[in-house]
């Protein structure tokens, strides 16, 4: 009995010992930065000026300032618009559409189309921004096509800046949604679909009654991941419009950067980042609760 007890203790010790490195990395690179951010959001931490040498906790002053700051409200609104149209509509819809078109196709077709779509996703965000900025510029490919058909060139990045960054982000992230939906669609039982076809069900009825209910978990998971990724988009917007013209494309990540590293108000910048974190948590919880899916 003592020998068995010793072996059990060694086994338990070994299990926790192997988990220790991963736990330490998680604490150091994830939990610790979040705690530091929360602490700094309640402080007057800044890098220049008189307050830079007198760090102190100021309670909810940063959050009160945000409520009264019209630039913050504009950034929240821009963030939600950018999130809804580029992620929830753009990436979700086109990712599902492409995955549906590739369903039951031969291997060569899937590889060719998949490679073309994936080429946008594997690009670094900065490269994607430069490509789309040149495509949408006054002398870019899009205006060349418009002129070819007798149209007038449009200054997309100046006249329609929000539309431009929405299109860019949708193009950049659609491939991920395509991969998620492609894997989900491949796991939908084919015998159920075949039985529905034999019974005379239309394609739309099969879609809404069979396919979508079977991939509901993948839809919610993909929606959550797209939401969190889109809320953190910075480089693409910064490279294409810089948050302008004016504040028309300034989202919360850009405003956070501007306050923390432009105005050197670290405390106020981290308070803005907490708003971004709360939005992500609220939306993720909303997706799970409304869909009644265990993720």
Q: Residue 251 has what pLDDT?
A: 94
Residue pLDDT, tens place only, 261-270: 888 888 899 9
Q: Enumerate residues 6+ apart whose C-beta is below 8 A from 113.
A: 98, 101, 102
Share of the chain above pLDDT 90, in %: 22
Q: Residue 240 has what pLDDT?
A: 92
CA-CA distance, 266 to 30, in Å (whole number)?
Answer: 19
**Mind listing the domains of the chain with CATH numbers?**
70-291 (1.10.3720.10)
How far is residue 166 from each of residues 88, 172, 260, measured CA to CA in Å? Answer: 11, 10, 25
Regions of the chain short of the pLDDT cut 70: 1-15, 50-52, 292-295
CA-CA distance, 255 to 90, in Å (whole number)?
Answer: 24
Q: Residue 3 has what pLDDT?
A: 52
Residue pLDDT, tens place only, 190-247: 888 878 888 787 888 888 888 888 888 888 888 888 998 999 899 999 999 988 888 8
């Amino acid at each position: 009995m003592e020998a068995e007890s010793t072996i059990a203790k060694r086994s338990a010790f070994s299990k926790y010992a192997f988990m220790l490195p991963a736990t330490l990395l998680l604490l150091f690179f994830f939990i610790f930065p979040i705690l530091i951010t929360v602490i700094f959001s309640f402080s007057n931490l800044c890098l220049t000026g008189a307050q830079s040498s007198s760090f102190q906790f100021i309670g909810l002053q940063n959050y009160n300032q945000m409520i009264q700051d019209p630039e913050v409200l504009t950034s929240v609104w821009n963030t939600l618009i950018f999130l809804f149209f580029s992620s929830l509509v753009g990436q979700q819809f086109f990712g599902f559409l492409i995955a549906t078109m590739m369903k039951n196709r031969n291997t060569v077709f899937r590889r060719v189309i998949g490679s073309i779509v994936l080429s946008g996703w594997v690009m670094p965000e900065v490269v994607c921004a430069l490509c789309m900025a040149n495509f949408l510029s006054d002398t870019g490919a899009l205006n060349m096509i418009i002129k070819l058909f007798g149209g007038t060139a449009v200054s997309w990045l100046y006249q329609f800046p929000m539309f431009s960054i929405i299109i860019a982000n949708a193009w950049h992230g659609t491939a991920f949604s395509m991969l998620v939906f492609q894997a989900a669609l491949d796991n939908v039982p084919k015998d159920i679909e075949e039985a529905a076809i034999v019974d005379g069900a239309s394609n739309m009825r099969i879609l809404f009654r069979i396919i979508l209910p079977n991939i509901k978990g993948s839809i919610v998971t993909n929606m959550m991941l797209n939401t969190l990724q889109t809320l953190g988009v910075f480089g693409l917007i910064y490279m294409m419009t810089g948050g302008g013209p004016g504040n028309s494309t300034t989202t919360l990540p850009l405003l956070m950067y501007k306050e923390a590293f432009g105005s050197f108000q670290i405390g106020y910048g981290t308070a803005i980042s907490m708003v971004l974190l709360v939005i992500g948590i609220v939306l993720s919880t909303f997706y799970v609760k409304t869909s009644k899916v265990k993720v």
